[in-house]
Amino acid sequence: MSKTNQSLMQRRMAAVPRGVGQIHPIFAERAENATVWDVEGREYIDFAGGIAVLNTGHLHPKVVAAVQEQLTKLSHTCFQVLAYEPYVELCEKIAARVPGEFAKKTLLVTSGSEAVENAVKIARAATGRAGVIAFTSAYHGRTMMTLSLTGKQVPYAAGMGLMPGGVFRAQYPNALHGVSVDDAMASIERIFKNDAEPRDIAAIIIEPVQGEGGFYAAPKDFMQRLRALCDQHGILLIADEVQTGAGRTGSFFAMEQMGVVADLTTFAKSIAGGFPLSGVCGKAEYMDAIAPGGLGGTYAGSPIACAAALAVMEVFEEENLLARSQAVGETIKAALREVQNKHPVIGEVRGLGAMVAIELFKDGDPHQPNAELVSQVVVRAREKGLILLSCGSYYNVIRVLVPLTVPDAQLKRGLEIIAECFDELA
Ligand code: PMP
């Protein structure tokens, strides 16, 4: 009997815990660049990009070739037992890309959460302090410490009891929802006054553009004021670029557009084009704060993932993908603004580079999120052959994460489908 999405869903329900949610009731079988085929042979345009993992598309031939070649040589030794060159070469290349005119070192691990965990460990060891300031609506992962840093606790931390301590919550500036840069700075001052003195704070961690929280970019002047505050008190600034990094926002790292540099930068997702790889890059003096053996892991920076990431970085050069990220982002924003002109339920179209989103309100009121219409649009788009993803604390934001390598015709068709969905549903 041929497999169907429904039959696989039944097996999944019995075999996989429900906590591993599933947004689309589809089982993917194969994919190429911006196209995915399910087990029933249906074809979809992928505007979800594996949650920002596929900036270079599914199975980019250059990434596939690099992985195949690596597989003929070495798949694993554990870098901490027998080292290998691709790890070192990748660290050199990442350090050259991360903003900051200082000596840098890079640690490789496997997931975004693990990268953030390690950034906090490094900041704590480097400063001898425990506190970390994180922001409202932030998303940093699903391990215990990163859950603690994450702003939205339901469903991520619900029912799990005490989370690791030392985390203090400041407001992320969000003009649309009435939080000014001054308000956000004042919320940090309140932490200093009531909860923890600056000398007890190791780091402030921030996403330059909040990802899961709803694609809100931090204003440049906020970043500058954060940097000054960190300098004043000897606090490290951690930029979590897990979702914004690897070219999504039109620069290789989003912080390049913020006019300040972070002390530690985390990256993951698109860096290895679909292979599990993440890391922390930062000032060498901080990165060296932990004694030999205190960092790393069995699969951390596997040769195969490193080969994939080195290929991804070459693809960016060869295909001029940073410029493409800007251009694709402009095309998407222009198309979505046209839909907005017809359908005022779209309260805002926003984005940095190709990290673009629309936010849906009721009655033009930003305080009345329209999650219902978002889920209807996501379902209707899927029926029409387009995979979309929502985000935002109230699930009322639709994010567009096209592969930067998307062919023009597919980009156009995907945007047409979004317009059709609003014509039919709004
Ligand atoms: N930080 C940010 C900014 C993220 O967007 C994510 C994933 N959505 C993570 C950390 C966690 O990454 P992972 O799911 O690979 O653990």
Cis peptide preceding 155, ω within 30 of 0: yes
Look at residue 1 in the predicted model and tell me its pLDDT. 59
Q: From first to last of its 426 residues, what are the pLDDT tens digits of the chain?
A: 579 999 999 999 999 999 999 999 999 999 999 999 999 999 999 999 989 899 999 999 999 999 999 999 999 999 999 999 999 999 999 999 999 999 999 999 999 999 999 999 999 999 999 999 999 999 999 999 999 999 999 999 999 999 999 999 999 999 999 999 999 999 999 999 999 999 999 999 999 999 999 999 999 999 999 999 999 999 999 999 999 999 999 999 999 999 999 999 999 999 999 999 999 999 999 999 999 999 999 999 999 999 999 999 999 999 999 999 999 999 999 999 999 999 999 999 999 999 999 999 999 999 999 999 999 999 999 999 999 999 999 999 999 999 999 999 999 999 999 999 999 999
Q: Which of 50, 26, 52, 48 is nearest to 39 (CA)?
A: 26
Three-class SS of the chain: CCCCHHHHHHHHHHHCCCCCCCCCCCCEEEEEECEEEECCCCEEEECCHHHHCCCCCECCHHHHHHHHHHHCCCCCCCCCCCCCHHHHHHHHHHHHHCCCCCCEEEEEECCHHHHHHHHHHHHHHHHCCCEEEEECCCCCCCCHHHHHHCCCCCCCCCCCCCCCCCEEEECCCEHHHCECHHHHHHHHHHHHHHCCCHHHEEEEEECCEECCCCCEECCHHHHHHHHHHHHHHCCEEEEECCCCCCCCCCCCCHHHHCCCCCCEEEECHHHHCCCCCEEEEEEHHHHCCCCCCCCCCCCCCCHHHHHHHHHHHHHHHHCCHHHHHHHHHHHHHHHHHHHHHHCCCEEEEEEECCEEEEEEEECCEEEEECHHHHHHHHHHHHHCCEECEEECCCCCEEEECCCCCCCHHHHHHHHHHHHHHHHHHC
pLDDT at 100: 97
Q: What Rg, from alpha-carbon coordinates, does the chain have? A: 21
Phi, psi of 373 (to 5 degrees): -65, -35
Residue 50: the pLDDT is 87
The pLDDT score that the predictor gives to residue 2 is 78
- Please report where in the chains the tokens 């387009």 appear, as a residue: 386
348 lines ligand 1 (CB under 6 A): no
Domains of the chain: 5-59+320-425 (3.90.1150.10), 74-318 (3.40.640.10)
Q: Among 54, 137, 238, 243, which is best to mutate for testing ligand 1, by the most ligand atoms less than 8 A from CB?
A: 243
Q: Encoding tokens for residue 318?
A: 């060869």
118 alpha carbon – ligand 1 mean position (Å): 13
pTM for this prediction: 0.98
Instruction: Find the 344 Cα to ligand 1 centroid distance in Å.
Output: 32
Q: Which residues pair with 32 in a beta bridge?
A: 35
CB of 240 closer than 6 angstroms to any ligand 1 atom: yes
Q: Give me ligand 1 centre to Cα 112, in Å.
A: 5
Atom 1 in ligand 1: residue holding the nearest Cα: 140
CA distance 61 to 64: 5
Q: Residue 367 has what pLDDT?
A: 93
pLDDT at 141: 98
Evaluate whether 347 touches 334 at the Cβ level (below 8 Å). Answer: no
Instruction: Tell me, in angstroms, the distance from the centre of ligand 1 to residue 73's CA.
Output: 31
- Residue whose CB lies within 8 A of the most ligand 1 atoms, among 113, 114, 209, for a mutation test: 113
